[in-house]
Structure formats: structure tokens, C-alpha cells
Amino acid sequence: MALSVSNKEENMVTTEGISGGMKVILNRPRKLNALNYQLIVQMLRMLESHEYDPTIKFIILKGNGKAFCAGGDVTSVMTLTNAGNWSFGANFFRKQYSLDYLLGTYKKPLIAIINGIVMGGGAGLSMHAAFRIVTENTIFAMPEASIGSVPDVGEYVALTGVRLNGIELVQCGLATHFVHSKDLASLENALSMMASSDAKNTTKISEIINKYANERDIKTENANSRLEIINKCFSRETVEDILLALETFAVERNEKWIFDAIKSIKSASPLCIKLALKLVNQNKVNPHKLQVKMS
């Protein structure tokens, strides 16, 4: 049974109780479950209330409709900012990153079912989960730099805005399991039927998910060659050096994805991609203290 956060609020996040756990469902399907301020606040409140509830031993995160979460609701942020409410943007991102932090430190196993679109802020919701399940419908991207914003994770995806499918996400380690969308209902049912004593046991949860995971599809595509080039190029210190390395490989390999990466970087906001790379590099040195000084 779906429950609203509050009778006085629009129901942007719903919950569904299952044996030993809880489903938390993003519920803005017409907006591809994009994160607006109200949704973020509701989800924060909901997850905080469940974290210390002894009857809830694991959480399933999913989206209603054809997207998990298409990222932040840029339209709502810009509309209020352009109307003179300059503090709204700061409050929005403060709440969003508080939600991301809560998910990253959550004391119960999180299972993210990423069936459909997951972009930007949607990655922040799903990538902290211990189990990140993707399907043939999954489309992952960090497109912020192309719209004048600053992405905050991953050199390759952040600087190029490249779209990755479910199989590619498993191959590069961003997802843990590939499950066909037709099997998701059965998987969720199996998880909901776990014995109470198993519901907080990540080994038991993994065993159930593995019964529905399709390793054969993962092995049909080999991303090792691409990953090797990505690691060599995107480990460089500056955007200019990354571009130079990509252009060198483009001459040697003549592969479409390399030319696409070059084109995307050159067409994105120069300031945004430089800031994004600085954030990522700084986080590698000190992951607990991020700050960018503008000279």
C-alpha cells in the first residue's frame, strides 16, 4: 500500500511496506522524477524516519514511470532564481547534498533499481547504494557541463556528458548487477519474501539478486579497450592535456566514441568542465575536504 509523506503535501515520494523492508519510490513520472525542492525534502524526511526503525532492515529505491531520476529540476531552480529568489538555489543544493550524504552513510542496505533514465542528481541518489541494479532500459549521463552547470563526479562522464547503457555501467563498476526489466517484478517479490533474519544480511540479498542477474549479456560486450584509453586520457591534470591525449588516440584508433568525446568537451562550457575536473582531482587528494578557489 502506497503511503504519502503528508496529507498536506503533494505526494512526490511514496513508500510501500514489504516484509523486513521498505520501497521508497520517486513519484514525478511526468517530470521523469526530476528532483525539485519538495521531493528532496520529502525523501530526506522519509529516509531519516526509516533509518532507526527496527522493523525496516533494508530499503529499495526506485522510480515511478520510465525514469529512475533525470536529475535536478533545472526549470524550477532557474524560474525562482530569475524571479529574484537568489537564496533558493543555495538552499536547493544544500538539501540535495544532505540527501546524498544521508544515502552515502545510511546504516541499512540500499538497493537501487535503476530502470530507465538516471542523470545528474539521479546518480547522487543511486550510486551510494550497496546494490545498483540496471536494465536494458538504463541510460546514465552527467550532462551538467552542456547546460552551464558543474558536474561533480567522474572525469569521463562529467567532461563529455556521454550516455552509458546498463551493460556499460556494470562493466565500468558503476552498477553491480544487470537484470532484464521483465524480471524486476519477480526480483522485487523475492526480496520482499526474505526471512526477517536475512533482510539485513547483504550476502543473502546478493544471493537473491544474483538469481535474476544476467551475466551472459555483460560478457557479450568488451569494454576493456575503451576503459584503457579512458584511464590514460582522463587521468591528465588539465582539460587541454585530456583533449590532446584524445586527439592522439583519435588518429591511431579512428573510433567514433573518441571523436564524440572530443566534440562534447569542446562544445561544453569551458568554465564548467575546468571546475569539474578541478573538483574531481582535488577529491582524489583529499576526499573529505572539497573547495575550489577562483583566481
Q: 110 pairs with which residues across the strands?
A: 59
- The C-alpha cell at 140 is 546514465
118 phi/psi in degrees, rounded to 5:
-140, 115
Which is the catalytic residue, given 121, 124, 161, 166?
121
136 is catalytic: no
pLDDT, one tens digit per residue, over 238-254 is 999 999 999 999 999 98
pLDDT, one tens digit per residue, over 1-14 is 344 343 345 799 99
**Cβ atoms < 10 Å from Cβ of 56:** 19
100 is catalytic: no
Q: 117 pairs with which residues across the strands?
A: 67, 139
Cα–Cα distance measured from residue 50 to residue 55, given in angstroms and rounded to the nearest whole number: 9
More confident call, 12 vs 214: 12
89 is catalytic: no
- What mean pLDDT is reported for the chain? 86
Say yes or no to pLDDT of 45 above 80: yes
Using CA atoms, how far residue 16 sits from 77, 89, 186, 208, 217, in Å, is 29, 31, 16, 20, 31
21 is catalytic: no
Taking the model in full, what pTM does it have? 0.84
User: What is the per-residue pLDDT for 77?
Assistant: 76
